[in-house]
Amino acid sequence: MRQFLFGNLLTGLISLNVVFAQDADTVVIGRFDPLALRVGFSLNNVLRTIARPNDTFYGFQADLVLGRYMLVAEYGSGELTRNNLPESVDIVNNPYSYQGQGSYFRIGPDVNLLINQAKTSFRADADGIFFGLRFARGQVTDRMTLQTRDDILDVDGNNNAFWPEQTITAQNDNLGVIWFEMTAGMKVQLYRNIFLGYNLRFKLARNFFGNPALIPYEVPGYGFGQSNEQFRFDYYLFYQIPFRKQERQPRRELPFLHLADNELFYVAEVIRR
Amino acid sequence: MEHNAFLYKKSRLGVLIALIFFGLSACEEESDCITDSTNVASVEFTKLISNEGSNSEEDALDSTIVLAEGSVARLPTDRGNQTGLPLNPASNTSTFYVFRQTEEGIFTGDTIVLNYRREQTLISPECGPDQQFTDISVDTALTTFDSVLVRNPEVSRFGETVNLRIFTCRYEMTNILRLQFDYPEVEEEPNDTLFIRRIYSSIGKENLLQDTLIEQGEDIIVEVPVTLSDEQVQVFLETEGATPETYDVLAYYQRDTFQVAKCLPQDRYRIDSLRLGENPGRLEEPTEVEESTVFNINNAVNATVSIR
């Protein structure tokens, strides 16, 4: 699976490198010059909300582009309901119902790795391959009702021989949770100021505040509450608000030819063949 | 150097294809329904022989019956020295009553209160909920066990370590002084016998020995209980038709406390010195005791005195 992912990443990287080379309408910018603000929303959350009637999830992201760096703030919320499925067949097949809701924010920097490819002349407010870090804080309110199970068996091999089955409820009220993320991804300009991008996120060091009796099934923005680490993707559609006009330079002929000796270009050629 | 311009015309399409590949890869992982959680905490009973700074495991175990508060069911204890205590899945505390047959027909009752934390999770919508029992602690205020150790605070179906180990100790230290009276042979009186009317001590009113005839060359052993508060005990031996008519033995002893792992602290007595007196007559000088001086059920004699 990981090989598959990294293979895709390499393909994307090379492709985007070529895109960059093709659209070399460049400006010379300072190190932290504010170039643009991108605001966007999570596509997969929208799709999930549409596709799953019991789920309502939203995610928003804003990037302030400062030279090759981006200051990123994210916010999202989610709500879900789960009930036992009639066809459930497993060792813990007990009636239950679960409702959870919560919100989160993330903040952290990204760095555009494409900058180094073009040295002094680039379009930092356009396409990008980035790596970043996030600090995330969320809170969850959830509640689960379940039937208890006693593992002492009776003579017929049935559970609950010692303790009768009981209905119990566990819940969290605004349970706090923090985690960190390492993220990488791409942003591609689809049309004028419209961008499509994805974030590949490795989430780690998940910590609930206190010792919750109920581990949230899903922490909005994080994923499965039981897992200490998560590996996830997010897709975003952005609109970019540029802070200044791009100074167009005379279009060079086949600027990619300058990359003839570039190893990435060579790899792209090899893959194409 | 030649380059294929077609490559660059297709490049944006390549990016989009890459994104789609990522999209296919972003499907949520499916959970499996395997859980090792259970509400049955494993308990192992261990009986130790506690003696003079060490202990060893005893083969024979007490017959045990385990009941739980709030349930009429009796727990099976047919797995040797192990049993399972089903924790109440609707509470963070469970109380168990353990009845042990320490001797034939004699049962000792103990109450074990287990406190624990329950942690509920939803494994997945398909698998359903799960409840784990963690952070077990024991309230031993109402037990007579020597020790109850939490070896594994997480209750698990496949756990390799038992959750609790309960130790009961059979002590071999005692508060009984074993005093031997020798009646040595003498050539002048080859058929001499001594009739002992009674032996008693300054601690306790009961006779330790009564109406016993011993021949020369024989000895008798009496078991003399001692107490925490005193540091000496006087043992009186009354004869009939002999001279002197009465002997008394003044035994000085010391007491300290020792404890071996997993067993309760225990008093340890050892004899210090003896002094034999004849009534009427004089008291002899104290004599150092050479026998095994610690009061232990494995020591046949702690001190010996000659009464001729």
The shortest CB-CB distance from A226 to any of B5, B88, B121 is to B121
- Per-residue tokens: B180: 């031997």
C-alpha R_g of chain B: 36
Encode pLDDT of A33-50 as tens digits: 888 899 999 999 999 999
What is the model's pLDDT at position A37? 93
> Chain A contacts of B8, Cβ < 8 Å?
18-19, 21-22, 256
Encode pLDDT of A46-103 as tens digits: 999 999 989 999 999 999 988 888 999 999 999 999 987 665 544 445 789 999 999 9
Q: Give the C-alpha distances (Å, rounded to integers) separating B131 from A161, B88, B97, B155.
A: 18, 12, 25, 11
What does B156-178 look like in DSSP terms, one character per residue? Answer: -TT-SS-SEEEEEEEE-B-SEEE
E strand or H helix at B7, and its extent? helix B5-9
Residue A43 in any domain: the answer is: yes
Overall number of domains in chain A: 1
Half-sphere exposure of B9 (CA within 13 A, CB side): 4
- Per-residue tokens: B138: 């024991």
Query: What is the CA angle B278-B300-B286, rounded to 5?
Result: 30
Asked if residue B76 lies in contact with residue B42, where contact means CB atoms within 8 angstroms, the answer is: no
What is the model's pLDDT at position B71? 66
Asked if residue A185 lies in contact with residue A200, where contact means CB atoms within 8 angstroms, the answer is: yes
What is the model's pLDDT at position A62? 96
What is the model's pLDDT at position B135? 94
What is the model's pLDDT at position A80? 95
Say yes or no to pLDDT of A264 above 60. no
- In 3D space, the residue among A176, A104, A91 whose CA is nearest the CA of residue A136 turns out to be A104
The shortest CB-CB distance from B122 to any of A16, A85, A144 is to A144
CATH of the domain at A72: 2.40.160
Say yes or no to pLDDT of A13 above 80. no
Q: How does the average pLDDT of chain A come out, rounded? A: 79
Q: Is B15 left (phi over 0), alpha (psi -120 to 50) or beta?
A: alpha
On whether any CB of chain A is under 8 Å from the CB of B176, the answer is no
Residue A244 in any domain: the answer is: yes
> Chain B contacts of A200, Cβ < 8 Å?
22
**Cβ–Cβ below 8 Å for A146 and B5:** no
Interface size, chain A vs chain B, as Cβ–Cβ contacts under 8 Å: 170
- Per-residue tokens: B245: 């008519």
Average pLDDT of span B203-225:
88
Distance from CA of B43 to the nearest CA of A (A): 15
Residue A214 in any domain: the answer is: yes
* A-contacting residues in B 34-63 (Cβ below 8 Å): 34-35, 38-40
Q: How far apart are CA A255 and CA A245, in angstroms?
A: 22
- In 3D space, the residue among B176, B180, B207, B185 whose CA is nearest the CA of residue B276 turns out to be B180
DSSP B8: H
What is the model's pLDDT at position A94? 72
Burial A219-255, CB ≥16 within 10 A → b, else e: bbbbbbbbeeebbbbbbbbbebeeeeeeeeeeeeeee
Write down the domain spans for chain B: 40-171, 176-306
Q: How far apart are CA A5 and CA A200, in angstroms?
A: 10
The shortest CB-CB distance from B120 to any of A9, A144, A269 is to A144
Q: How far apart are CA B269 and CA B260, in angstroms?
A: 16
Encode pLDDT of A238-263 as tens digits: 999 988 765 554 444 444 444 444 44
Q: Which amino acid is at B42?
A: S
Encode pLDDT of A173-229 as tens digits: 999 999 999 999 998 888 888 999 999 999 999 999 988 989 999 999 999 999 999
Burial B267-306, CB ≥16 within 10 A → b, else e: ebbbbbbbbbbeeeeeeeeeeebeebbbbbeeeeebbbbe
Average pLDDT of span B135-150:
89
Average pLDDT of span A120-137:
78
Asked if residue B269 lies in contact with residue B52, where contact means CB atoms within 8 angstroms, the answer is: no
Q: How far apart are CA B198 and CA B236, in angstroms?
A: 8
On whether any CB of chain A is under 8 Å from the CB of B195, the answer is no
Q: How far apart are CA A100 and CA A117, in angstroms?
A: 45
Residue A85 in any domain: the answer is: yes
Asked if residue B163 lies in contact with residue B152, where contact means CB atoms within 8 angstroms, the answer is: yes
Q: How far apart are CA B66 and CA A184, in angstroms?
A: 58
Residue A218 in any domain: the answer is: yes
Asked if residue B74 lies in contact with residue B84, where contact means CB atoms within 8 angstroms, the answer is: no
Average pLDDT of span A103-127:
73
> Chain B contacts of A270, Cβ < 8 Å?
none
| Chain B residue with minimum CA distance to A190 | B12
pLDDT band, very low/low/confident/very high, at A142 (cuts 50, 70, 90):
very high
Say yes or no to pLDDT of B113 above 70. yes
Which structural domain, as residue segments, surrounds residue A105? 25-141+175-250
Average pLDDT of span B195-224:
88
- Checking DSSP bridges between strand A214-215 and strand B106-124, what pairing results, if any? parallel
Residue A164 in any domain: the answer is: no
What is the model's pLDDT at position B98? 85
- Phi and psi at residue B169, to the nearest 5°: -120, 140
Say if residue B89 is preceded by a cis peptide, omega within 30 of 0: no
- In 3D space, the residue among A137, A264, A145 whose CA is nearest the CA of residue A203 turns out to be A137
What is the model's pLDDT at position B76? 61
What is the model's pLDDT at position A16? 44
Asked if residue A187 lies in contact with residue A197, where contact means CB atoms within 8 angstroms, the answer is: yes
> Chain B contacts of A93, Cβ < 8 Å?
128
The shortest CB-CB distance from A146 to any of B22, B120, B125 is to B120
E-strand ranges in chain A read 34-42, 55-66, 69-83, 96-112, 128-147, 167-191, 194-208, 214-215, 218-219, 223-224, 230-242
What is the model's pLDDT at position B186? 80
Asked if residue A235 lies in contact with residue A42, where contact means CB atoms within 8 angstroms, the answer is: yes
What is the model's pLDDT at position A9? 42
The shortest CB-CB distance from B125 to any of A85, A152, A260 is to A85
